[in-house]
Structures are given as C-alpha cells and as structure tokens.
Chain A
C-alpha cells in the first residue's frame, strides 16, 4: 500500500539546514495498523506530513497504492489527498460553524458527490462512530471524544486507502482515548490501513506494528500482539 525508499527531508532555517529525515525505508501492507513512535523532534510528524502529501520529500521515492507520488502541484495533491487519504488531527480541526453532519460531508463535497448522497453517507458514518443523534450539533456542543469521533467519521467518509492520524488521542483523557482507539481498531478490523503517530506507549500497544523513529532514522520496526482497547472501555 505504502512504499517509501531512502527518504530524506531537511528544512532550511536561515543559513542552517536541519536534516530531519535521514534515509527512511518503510513499507505498509494493506490492512495494517501501524504506530509511529518517537520523541519530539524525531521526525515522526514530518514523515506523516510527507505521507499525507502535505509536505514534499527532498530525496527518495514514495509510492501510494501503486501511484508514484512526486512533483505534485497543489491541485493534484489536493485531488490525491481527497482520493487516497483520510486525516485525523490532534486538535480535531472540525469547522466550527458547521454541524457534525456537515463536517463529515465536507470531503464528499470536494469529491463532487451530490447533496443527498453526501448527507446519507455522512449520517451512515456518524452512525458507525455512534454519533447519529448528534448529527445536527455544532462542534462546540460536543465533548472532546465526540469531536474526535466526528473527525474520524469525516476521515472515513471519503473512503480513503489510508487513514493518517496525528496524535489522535493527544488531547483526550485516557478513558476517551481508549474509546477512540477502540473505534480505530474496529475500522482497522474492517480492512482499512491506518497509520498513527503517537508518543504514548499504551496507544502504540493497541496497534499491530510499532515503528520507532529517532533522529530521523528508523531504529526499531516490530510487529506486536495487539492489545484490544475494548477491554478498557
């Protein structure tokens, strides 16, 4: 599904150049649930941004579902993001003047899906995250966990190849975190490929594979036995 070879990325800070990713080789199969771990500054968010086509790589190659991702202009990148990827952010990033349903329907709008179908799909995904009754509520009327579930529904609504989550539980307490992880595991059980950036070991343990980054290189890449989040809920 994801194929990364010899990936380098550096940021220019004035006259200095900060080498963030120093040759990453990494691949993800369909249906995997991968945790990317590392301390801050290890390059895990940069890696996720490159995977999410929000940032461009300097060297190396990136293939997503057989499509080489390179030299994308903004329009192409937007279309690929819309088609291949779903995003879940630490701070939810819901649009505050739109209801839960409208938020979920937004990626479908950019897929040029008709209004009726958009609403039906949005409701279907809200149902999946257990927030059907909250469809007409604004984000400000939802709790943190509910917001993140709406955000996950939004990410899933576009039916992406890969779900990218950047610290999805970073702003939540542990109970709510486990609820969210339970949801993510269920989505994964259904066959979806998911990548999670986290620095919490207990969250990482709920994935099927952990990739450790340190100073821009992968220091450890191991498959683990998944801890089910449902047992904590």
Chain B
C-alpha cells in the first residue's frame, strides 16, 4: 500500500508515460471514447425512459379505455352487425364485478368520434371545440392540470347539472383577451350559456385530447345533447398491483355478457390498454439500456486492449531502463507493479475524463431537446453504473497490464543491460 501513496511511485509513472506524450494521449482517447459512448448511450436510454414516463405522467400507467362497436357474430337470437351502446349502469356493474378496478369514469364527447364540434361563442368571438361530458373522477385516471384560480368539475356540478365548463388554453386565447380573467366569465356553447370555472393546462401525449377541449359536467352534457344514459366510453384505472391485461379481458367479458354478445366476438367491444403500451415502451427502454451496456463495455474493452498494446511497446523500449532498475535492486514484483499501475492509471484517467465528457454531451443533448416535442428528459446514468464501469476498467486495466508487466519481468537484467 505504501507503494500506492509514495510520491516517487507516481513520479515514476508520470515520468514514463510523459516520455511519449502523443502516444499516451492517443491511447487514452481509445478508452475515453469507450466510456464516453457507454455514458452517452446509457444516459440517453435513461433520458428516453424518463421522457416516456413524463409523457404518461398525467395518465395512470395501468389504465385502459373501452368502448362499444358492432357485433361480428350472431348470439342468442341477435343478428350480426348490431350496434352496441354502453350505458351508465354498465359502469356500476363493472366496478362491482371486477375488484381490481380502482376508478371507472364514464365519458362522452361531441366533435371527435361523431357529431360536429360545438360552436362556442363569446362576445363576437367564436370557435368550434370538442366538448366532453365528464365526472370529477375522470381526473384520477388522467390528471388535468388546472391553472391557478380555477377548478375542475365537482360533484355538485354533476348533481345540479350545472352549466359550468373548464376550457382549454387555446380556447382561452381565442375567446378571451389576453388581460382578461376567464374564470367567472360566460361562453355560449351550442347556444347555451356556460360559466367558466377553470382553464386546463394541456400536456401532450394524452391521445386524442387537445389544448382546446371543453369539459362540462356529464349530467349537463346528457341534457344538452339528449344522450340519456348513453356513455361514449369508460376510462378505467386498475389498482397498481393489478395485472392490467387481465383486467382488460375481464372488463370485456362483463360487457359482453351485459349486452348479450358472443363471448368469442373480438370486435364487439373495443379497448385500448395504456398499461400494455406502457409496458412495451418500458421494455423498449430496457432493451436500449442493455444494448448501450453491451456496446459501451465492448468499446471500453477495445480501448483497454489498446492500452495493453501500447504498454507492451513501451516495455520493449524501456528494456534497458528496467534492467538498470533491477540491477539497482528492484524486485520483479516492484517492476510488475510499476507497469500495472501505469496501465490502471491510464485507464482510470481516460475513464474519469470520459465520464466528465459524457456528462457534458448528455447535458448538451438535454438542452437541445428541451423545447422540441421529443420524449426525452433528464438523462442520467445511475451512480452505481458509473462506479461499476470504473471498477470494470480498473480490473481490465490490471489484467491487460499483466501482459506487458510479465514481459518486463521475464527479461533478465543482464540481457536488458546488454541491449543497446
């Protein structure tokens, strides 16, 4: 251990690697490049992972949507091609029958899947926007960020079928003056006056929703568009520990039994499983991380082999010097440690520089992608990965250093001194 902390040891190392500076630098670049690629790749993989997570942050990860289509099989006397319609009571039944369901929100919309967007007018300004009929519970499944001073639809709005609405950022921009506070103001949706109670902040990535959507209470929607007990689709969130795919199957089975659909009819009930998609993306990000690990380590390995190669040449060049050292009393062990330490030192130096440079590149990419719509955020490499990479490099540096070290020791001092 004294060996490691002796300034002379380090002087020896600096002396010998400083002797051929260009070669040392080029060698170091080999390893530096490896660790740089490793850091950038795994950081980028993590960044993508974070990016996807951010995109889905306002939606429960284990959520799904289900809607009715038309049957493709005859069943119980019903003919094929029958159009199905979900009802409010289906939701209650689903919640009762499937214990894995945490939240279930019936929703309706006008202006997206059918019907024209509602014409919305306010003091001479107008626009056409999609209108959603929603329950407050809807925000448990897909969070809506509401700007300060406003709120989302609440239970009293539902009970009283109040004429209140939550408008989008764009709706606000298009209908209100920039210095106007929209909260408390009135807009006319399809010729009915609604009071604005909140403005929602749009977060991209949430599917078909947009920054101009207007949300009104489900009950008000029912009255306004005369939809009765009909439900456009159900948004369902399962408990965190539930298997979302299983829940999806169960939901479909229950709906089929309610609506007298052949259990084997795959077309009658449509669904979109966010959990499944999310799992696939997570799998993709994991694959990417794994790949970056493999590529990074392979590149590091190539670089370390380069260091071994250079040291082999260096030992050959220094044959005489090593002979002198041994004549002066250096034991084979001391000569060996000197060469190995050189190898480890070069590898570590390259590694640390590579990590710093890699962090720089990552932060640059982060800056560049900040303002564009690309699922990439906060690229990081976990500290254990970095330490692991360094540890691998020390081990590899030692192993590869053993070869030139052994060569150095195998030369007899007398032969070394004779060499001119």
Q: Which residues of A contact B (CB under 8 A)?
A: 49, 52, 54-55, 74-75, 78-79, 81-83, 87, 89, 91, 93-98, 102, 106-107, 109-112, 115, 118, 154, 158
Contact = CB atoms under 8 A, between A and B. Distances in A.
A138 B412 CA distance: 27
Contact of B414 (A49, A75, A112): A49
A126 to B, nearest CB: 16
A115 B6 contact: yes
Given A79-B329, A106-B328, 9 more contacts: A54-B412, A78-B332, A81-B329, A83-B329, A95-B15, A95-B325, A110-B325, A110-B329, A110-B331
9 contacts: A74-B331, A78-B326, A78-B330, A96-B321, A97-B15, A98-B15, A107-B328, A110-B329, A115-B7
B19 interface: yes
B399 interface: no
Interface string B374-414: 00000000000000000000000000000000000100111
Given A95-B321, A115-B8, A110 B413 contact: no
B16 A97 contact: yes
A205 to B, nearest CB: 27
A164 B8 CA distance: 26
Interface string B5-18: 01110010001101
B92 interface: no
B414 A55 contact: yes
Contact of B8 (A49, A74, A109): A109
B95 to A, nearest CB: 79
Contacts of A106: 325, 328
Main secondary structure of the interface of B (DSSP, over half): helix
Nearest to B7: A115
In the A-B complex, list the 6 residue pairs whose CB atoms are closest, starting with the nearest. Answer: A82-B329, A110-B329, A54-B414, A78-B331, A97-B15, A107-B328
Contacts of A98: 15
A79 B321 CA distance: 18
Contacts of A96: 321
Interface string B305-341: 0000000000000001101111111111110000000
A67 B274 CA distance: 85
Contacts of A111: 329
Interface of B: 2, 6-8, 11, 15-16, 18-19, 320-321, 323-334, 409, 412-414, 417, 420
A106 B328 CA distance: 8
B417 A158 contact: no
A82 B327 CA distance: 8
Nearest to A49: B414
A97 B19 CA distance: 7
Contacts of B7: 115
A160 to B, nearest CB: 10
A54 B413 contact: yes
Contacts of B19: 97
Q: Which residue, B19, B321, B420, has most C-beta atoms of chain A within 10 A? A: B321
A93 B417 contact: yes
B332 A74 contact: yes
Given A115-B6, A115-B7, A115-B8, A97 B329 contact: no
B414 A154 contact: no
B329 A107 contact: yes
Contacts of B334: 110
Contact of B331 (A79, A93, A109): A79
Q: Which residue, B7, B329, B409, has most C-beta atoms of chain A within 10 A? A: B329
Nearest to B335: A78
Q: Which residue, B6, B323, B328, B334, has most C-beta atoms of chain A within 10 A? A: B328
B317 to A, nearest CB: 12
A91 B180 CA distance: 93
A86 to B, nearest CB: 9
A11 B413 CA distance: 17
A75 B333 contact: yes
